[in-house]
Amino acid sequence: MRRPVIAIDGPAGSGKSTVAKLVAQRLGFLYIDTGAMYRALTLKALRIKADLSDEAKLGSLARATEIELKQSGGSLKIYLDGKDVTDQIRTPEVTNNVKYIARTKAVRECMVAIQRKLGEQGGAVMEGRDIGTVVLPNADKKFYIDASFDIRAVRRYEELKDGGAAVTEEGIKKDLKVRDESDFSRAIGPLKKADDAILIDTTDLTIEGVVDKVLSLIKA
Ligand code: DC
């Protein structure tokens, strides 16, 4: 019997990545981080100094690039053309430029095709912005994980500060606002709750609380 496929969408800082990872672990499912795929392509485009406004070039670049997600122990490793770039795709430079890659139609078509293939096998938790609306409209269960702007900014601030980065709350809020604007207003594949997605607001919930809630809804 084909195992279910779960779609999880939501804005940056909502906690969706942590939730998706833990839910996948608890179910023994594959965890598919689609944001990492856009980040990996952004890293490549920056490395080769591609023109980030040239849609045709970015499309060919996407089609000529191999991006793999490999589960290694409890964590996910991201490979770009055969090389591990798990850490390199999290730099501020990549984060600030991913919007140019993510808004490009030809890139999205290529990414969505790969993501659908990954989801087809079932037994997967796929996380992103357009999973329930575009990538897997027939997913067995869909979740939209949200939280207030302020709490998303605080979480991001604490995460970066704990990682040793020199950040301010003001700076984080400015970056988050820019990311939200590009995520919500993108012409193709914008962040949007699917009509049949279950909304979970994590503002006042702990991660464990959200994970338990998602698991019980999947099993229901
Ligand atoms: O989840 P993340 O913050 O690592 O994602 C990085 C960027 O990739 C995000 O700002 C928007 C883009 N993205 C997207 O356009 N579609 C997805 N399914 C996932 C991410």
Expressed in angstroms and rounded, the spacing between residue 135 Cα and the centre of ligand 1 is 13
Domain count, the chain: 1
In a domain, 110, yes or no: yes
Expressed in angstroms and rounded, the spacing between residue 183 Cα and the centre of ligand 1 is 8
d(C-alpha 52, C-alpha 91), whole Å: 18
The CATH number that applies at residue 33 is 3.40.50.300
What residue numbers bound the domain in which 144 lies? Answer: 5-215
Provide the percentage of residues in the chain whose pLDDT is more than 70.
100
Expressed in angstroms and rounded, the spacing between residue 128 Cα and the centre of ligand 1 is 6
118-152 pLDDT, tens digit per residue, is: 999 899 999 999 999 999 999 999 999 999 999 99
In a domain, 36, yes or no: yes
Q: Residue 159 has what pLDDT? A: 86
Look at 183 and 166; give whichever has higher pLDDT.
183
Does the pLDDT at position 166 exceed 90? no
Averaged pLDDT score across all residues of the chain:
96
175-201 pLDDT, tens digit per residue, is: 999 999 999 999 999 999 999 999 999
Q: From 33, 34, 38, 178, give the residue whose CB has the most ligand 1 atoms within 8 Å, as the site to mutate.
A: 38
32-70 pLDDT, tens digit per residue, is: 999 999 999 999 999 999 999 999 999 999 999 999 999
List pocket residues of ligand 1, CB cut-off 6 Å. 12, 34-35, 38-39, 98, 102, 128-130, 179, 183, 189
Q: Residue 165 has what pLDDT? A: 83
pTM: 0.96
In a domain, 220, yes or no: no
Nearest CA to ligand 1 atom 5: 35
